[in-house]
Amino acid sequence: MDASVVPLCLSLFDWAQYRSKKGGIKLHTVLDYDGLLPVFLDLTDAKTHEVTVGRAHSHPRGSVLVFDRGYSDFAWWSVLDSSGVFFITRAKTNLDWRIVRQREIPHKARGSVKGDYDVEIGSSAAKAAGLTRLRYIKYYDEDQGRELYFITNQTSWTASDVALAYKERWHIEVFFKLLKQHLSIHSSAPVSMR
């Protein structure tokens, strides 16, 4: 799940203004991993936050949603969790958590998985939402040369599989890039109808 602003020429589409000199709409979508095709597309004004649209859609039990940190909302995560929908996202750096249990890391994953924990979330927002227990994974991405931190309610997959699922989220970025390349309106020059 992700959203992206599709730029529009402000002189042609003055209704699409979202910054002083920029115009655009925001395209929200869920890309089905099996066929790499959108399950749904939702167009909003460019100012609409991703999680606002995310909250408005329901997903079948057993679905796995992979999204970026723009979808951080403990109340929504609680709804997903209670509906049997799994989610995987990157943890924000200021996430308040404490380790409840350290999970065993399989020997073959020890180079890339730096930590796998059941954690208790300490924020008042998480407590108010009733979502205080999650899984926190520290993963070293050799391609990027940095550690990544994931938060999920998916407890049966290996930590490596959770990290791989997040890496596969890149397909939606490619989808948006291709779409924008074909939808770009570069100028406000009149179109000749010869």
Predicted confidence (pLDDT) per residue in 32-46, tens digit: 888 888 888 899 999
Query: Domains of the chain: which residue ranges?
Result: 1-61+169-187, 68-165
The secondary structure element, H or E, covering residue 172 is: helix 170-183
User: Vertex 32, ends 28 and 35: CA angle to 5°?
Assistant: 130
Tens digits of per-residue pLDDT, 84-126?
999 999 999 999 999 999 999 988 877 899 999 999 999 999 9
CA dihedral 6, 12, 18, 20 (to 10 degrees): 130
Q: Are 49 and 69 in contact (CB under 8 A)?
A: no
What sign does the dihedral 95-96-98-101 (CA atoms) show?
negative
User: Vertex 131, ends 125 and 135: CA angle to 5°?
Assistant: 115
Phi, psi of 21, rounded to the nearest 5 degrees: -125, 20
Instruction: Over range 66-93, report the average pLDDT.
Output: 96
Lowest mean pLDDT among 74-88, 95-109, 180-194: 180-194
Q: How far apart are CA 115 and CA 101, in angstroms?
A: 11
